[in-house]
Structure 1
């Protein structure tokens, strides 16, 4: 018999959530084969079985929170030919003959009371005990009748019934009538929410704005994109231009590339640029390492690979740790102007926006030009207005003279 244990995830991560069981009791598993997917604050991690055999029992359900080092499943010897009974059948069997009940379902079922006969995950039972909730009163979402943590949480936050007035069809409001949909936030979404709130509460964040005439960048990209693709097998986008411009501006304004450590300001002598990527699970920020040492093709290739890993949910913790500055592009969703929020301990983030043609004064003439608003959010405890405005102005000037940017990179 081999135990499946939650592995060490990262220095700052001590728990995760069971996102998906890839194997069920009775399934055959090979040594090194993935058995469960864990969702952590930053990435999803697939856990392997260290032994070959048959999954004998699962000790946690999908949606349960588990700790590093916790045993979550067991693998025993066997051929896997005898699959366990469905949950509904197991419930009936356990209710009638508890002494002979199979132990392939990770729940505790007894016949002493209606609550004890309710099928529930261990974590759900624990939470129900802490909140003083009778499991038999909970309406689970699971069609098989299994109560999970989210069911307990939803029940505990539901308004208590009142006896002051009778409930009629005209006045009744419930989630069952289709007017509401309650969706539990994923672990990642909860982490994003708490960290964004923490940033707003713990920093003196301000935002300064400017606008960039994208005429020359777009013209240069149009002229060079085919040859660029032929030479490097990667497409020339705008992100490499912005990344290079940001690196050049960070070198001139080093406090924008820093962080606070107690009473010290730590200026980073490296340029690891985070590129925000939107995924179904939320925003993630993989890092382009040593962006100052990479050319345009290497940056575009790096961004493309990281974006694909993010969309495929294959990012590793090492892909997202240690960035010194972040670029986020709300323009891909049509955002004209926004105020980006600082990323973690960083003191600066650049927000890109959609390119929109607008009338602009060029000398004594009015011309229609493709313009982009850009925003720099910064921690005013470290960065003064002079540096923030100067940084953003330099980014603007470099992008309006892209030939110089490419020649000097």
Structure 2
């Protein structure tokens, strides 16, 4: 028999959640075939078979948490495709013996989980055993619809709900107790995905560990929109990608970071790690949650290179194909809430980074050109959140002003780059 184990994922990742089994018990598995998909804190990872055989046993159900190195499946190199799990064969005589022992029991009380292991224990998945211990449920009393008699987490939950319903006092029709769902109000309960739990945890940690402050400014987008309108067709013809706003903002951020390096640093104990490279994270919203893939060495890329890299990373994020290397090591982050219509916001730091720039919707507003003239201009609010532990207000405000200046004079970005 060949054991399929959870491989080393990354230095900071020690466990994952079984998202989806890509092979079923009895399926033929070739070397290199993807067997199961794991959801980690950052990305989904497919585990591939290192050997050839038939999948005869699955040891972790979808939704189970598994640690690196744990056995999650078994392959039999000598079995034929369609082979039933080995554990199912010796169960029949045990079920017969047990049936004789409970002949006197009422039929309605006969437990459905008749299958036991060699030690006489009811067969159940690790997740089911853990849940049974937490809820104080006796596995021998749980009925299951599994044809092999294996108790699943759904069976435990259903059994526990039945016990709770039987022991609970009749509710008063006049009112709903505090903290309980009103049966007349429909609700849906969904378990948070591992990634959503991680996002929630990290955002709260940032609020507790960083002295976060936000400063605001606004930028006149007239010059950038003029450049894009004049050059967009030739830019696409030459480079095969559209000239968007993100390349301008990325270049402006890099230029400002070179002048104010503490925004490109992080705190490590009682030391500052000031980075002399510019790996810019770009926040991307996906169905699974917010991810921040990183544009490496953004200072060395052309406008077309930045646009191409951002486009590729965004597509990989939406297709759930980002690798861990795509998400690690950013030095500063840009997030664009304007794509969803946000006019103003206070972005939260992406730890351990100490700065994040928030872009917002472009709106036409009347702007005073001088004492006598007013013009309608395309304006955008900018927000810079920073860690006040190492970045003073003067430096943060000066950084954002420099970003504004570079954006309002796009030609200067070529010199700053």
TM bucket, shorter chain: 0.7 to 0.9
In structure 1, what is the Cα distance between the partners aligned to 2:172 and 2:33? 54
Q: 1:62 matched to which residue of 2?
A: 62
- In the alignment, structure 1 residue 398 sits paired with structure 2 residue 406: yes
- In the alignment, structure 1 residue 225 sits paired with structure 2 residue 232: yes
Please give the per-residue CA displacement for 1:195-219, whole angstroms capped at 9, x wherever unaligned.
0000000010000000111111111
Q: How does 1:44-193 map to 2 (within 5 A)?
A: 44-78=44-78, 80-82=80-82, 84=84, 96-97=95-96, 110=114, 121-133=125-137, 147-148=152-153, 166-168=171-173, 179-193=186-200
Q: 1:290 matched to which residue of 2?
A: 297
- In the alignment, structure 1 residue 311 sits paired with structure 2 residue 315: no
Unmatched runs of 5 consecutive residues or more in structure 2 = 99-111
- How much does 1:405 deviate? 1.4
Unmatched runs of 5 consecutive residues or more in structure 1 = 100-107
In structure 2, what is the Cα distance between the partners aligned to 1:146 and 1:118? 8
CA 1:274–1:358: 2 relative to 1, 3 Å:
same
Q: Is the 8 A contact 1:63 1:149 kept in 2?
A: no
- How much does 1:168 deviate? 4.6
CA 1:136–1:96: 2 relative to 1, 3 Å:
closer
In structure 2, what is the Cα distance between the partners aligned to 1:220 and 1:134? 71
Q: Is the 8 A contact 2:113 2:150 kept in 1?
A: no
Q: Is the 8 A contact 1:64 1:148 kept in 2?
A: no
CA 1:145–1:371: 2 relative to 1, 3 Å:
farther
Tell me the matched-pair count: 392
Residue 42 of structure 2 aligns to a residue in which SS?
A: coil
- How much does 1:365 deviate? 1.6
Residue 19 of structure 2 aligns to a residue in which SS?
A: strand
CA 1:111–1:73: 2 relative to 1, 3 Å:
closer
Pick aligned residue for 2:203 from 187, 196, 207: 196
TM-score, reference length from structure 1:
0.86
TM-score, reference length from structure 2:
0.84
Please give the per-residue CA displacement for 1:98-141, whole angstroms capped at 9, x wherever unaligned.
89xxxxxxxx95468xxx9998531131132134245699999x
- How much does 1:97 deviate? 4.8
In structure 1, what is the Cα distance between the partners aligned to 2:55 and 2:369? 71
Q: 1:103 matched to which residue of 2?
A: none
Pick aligned residue for 2:254 from 247, 264, 268: 247
CA 1:49–1:169: 2 relative to 1, 3 Å:
farther
Residue 267 of structure 2 aligns to a residue in which SS?
A: strand
Q: 1:373 matched to which residue of 2?
A: 381
Higher-Rg member (1/2): 2
CA 1:98–1:271: 2 relative to 1, 3 Å:
farther
Q: Is the 8 A contact 1:253 1:391 kept in 2?
A: yes
Residue 128 of structure 1 aligns to a residue in which SS?
A: helix
Pick aligned residue for 1:386 from 373, 391, 394: 394
- How much does 1:406 deviate? 3.4
Give me the CA root mean square deviation: 3.5
Q: Is the 8 A contact 1:60 1:123 kept in 2?
A: yes
Q: Is the 8 A contact 2:56 2:84 kept in 1?
A: no
- How much does 1:253 deviate? 0.3
Q: 1:280 matched to which residue of 2?
A: 287
